[in-house]
Structure 1
């Protein structure tokens, strides 16, 4: 096997075969690049993390108060979670992932940010479907405290609001289910979500049926493979609309 490429792990999952790879690209310097694939599809690369980090910084910038309780939906390579933990106001972070393999990669420190997350007592891994937990208002995201309210929920699982990691996720993007998720937030709570695509007007309109204020942000980052820059989006929503 070439020193420029190594498959570190490959496991079956409920979504198909998931694999962790490490590579080096000499033209990009002396650094390891970690990648996650699901079957033949790329899910995550440590080359492109600006928008995953911006999901935390943009979302948490709208959160008021101290001693915050925050949920991250989707662990990936850990960049959203680690960026969230740089906010000293966070008292506890619940990182939800449906794939036990991905959680184990971090717990076993097979990915670089696993060591950072494991060393921070505020971090808690939660094995489960974000979408199931989000719509279960009587239980929720904290396994030890049913019905707990959170200051922020940061979501990075699907490719976009219209392109899904799993076709079954499509049903989440409705007023009914987004409102169920919003029940897990405090009255001034924030929901933020990553998308690989440009902001979508239809999705913004949908979010406005659930939240009082909705913004979209374009995050620009260098993509050497395209010889220029690429963009992702982050939606930031404030103050759930409570139905009478």
Structure 2
């Protein structure tokens, strides 16, 4: 039987104090709920993972071929990464996260999906800034293979294309820097991105300056805190 509330870990990070918590809410059933906070801001909860999983399923559905190499930007609680690995075509997955603390939660299996990610030999953690690696195609995402190209890049870091986890991330959302990231995709490769907000026309227009095809999807899920439904969105882009 779990405690109703427990702080599992709390560490300083370049973005501020980041903490991992576990709680139980009896009204929501017999289950542990895992949460991540950055300072006083809630970043994620294991109660709301539908859109994080849809980021993988919607993105990878547009990828052609076999023996896929995939980058996941942002580890979080691991739901996007685990959902991607359900695609048997994936032969290699790099999960890029700037926070060593978050990677260690999974490596030490302090979060439920850590064990699953650690056991899958296709999965590899990369400690580094997704945004720095994304705009340097000569080096790229794989520290073992400079300039490597990938079949898909799945991004879930910022709250939205206009609301940033770190103000410095804003520089990524330009034609120039999105093009540098797209240079790390193979022909017909896919870039997909999660957002907490409905699809934004200005961002879709920006994506269309870089990619051959752009789609947006509204993902609806139950929100018991609000007594109804909530939505997130997923952008899916295909390179020429």
> Which band: TM-score by shorter chain?
over 0.9
Indicate the SS of the match to 1:36.
strand
Corresponding residue for 1:81?
81
TM-score by length of 2: 0.99
Corresponding residue for 2:140?
140
* TM-superposition CA deviations, 1:29-78 (whole Å, max 9, x none): 10000000000000010000000000000000000000000000000000
| Aligned-partner Cα distance in 1 for 2:137–2:79 | 27
Give yes or no for the alignment of 1:97 onto 2:97: yes
Corresponding residue for 1:235?
235
Aligned length: 239
* TM-superposition CA deviations, 1:156-182 (whole Å, max 9, x none): 000000000000000000000000000
Corresponding residue for 2:193?
193
Q: What is the Cα deviation at residue 190 of structure 1?
A: 0.2
Structure 1 runs of 4+ aligned residues shifted over 3 Å read: none
Corresponding residue for 1:151?
151
| Aligned-partner Cα distance in 1 for 2:149–2:114 | 26
Q: What is the Cα deviation at residue 205 of structure 1?
A: 0.1
Corresponding residue for 1:179?
179
Within 5 Å, which residues of 2 pair with 1:2-21? 3-21=3-21
Indicate the SS of the match to 1:14.
coil
| Aligned-partner Cα distance in 1 for 2:239–2:210 | 9
- Structure 2 residue runs without a partner (length 5+): none
- Structure 1 residue runs without a partner (length 5+): none
Corresponding residue for 2:65?
65
TM-score by length of 1: 0.97
Q: What is the Cα deviation at residue 100 of structure 1?
A: 0.1
Q: What is the Cα deviation at residue 18 of structure 1?
A: 0.1
Q: What is the Cα deviation at residue 3 of structure 1?
A: 1.9
| Aligned-partner Cα distance in 2 for 1:80–1:74 | 9
Q: What is the Cα deviation at residue 137 of structure 1?
A: 1.0
* TM-superposition CA deviations, 1:203-224 (whole Å, max 9, x none): 0000000001000000000000
Corresponding residue for 1:46?
46
Q: What is the Cα deviation at residue 239 of structure 1?
A: 1.4
| Aligned-partner Cα distance in 2 for 1:229–1:58 | 20
Corresponding residue for 2:22?
22
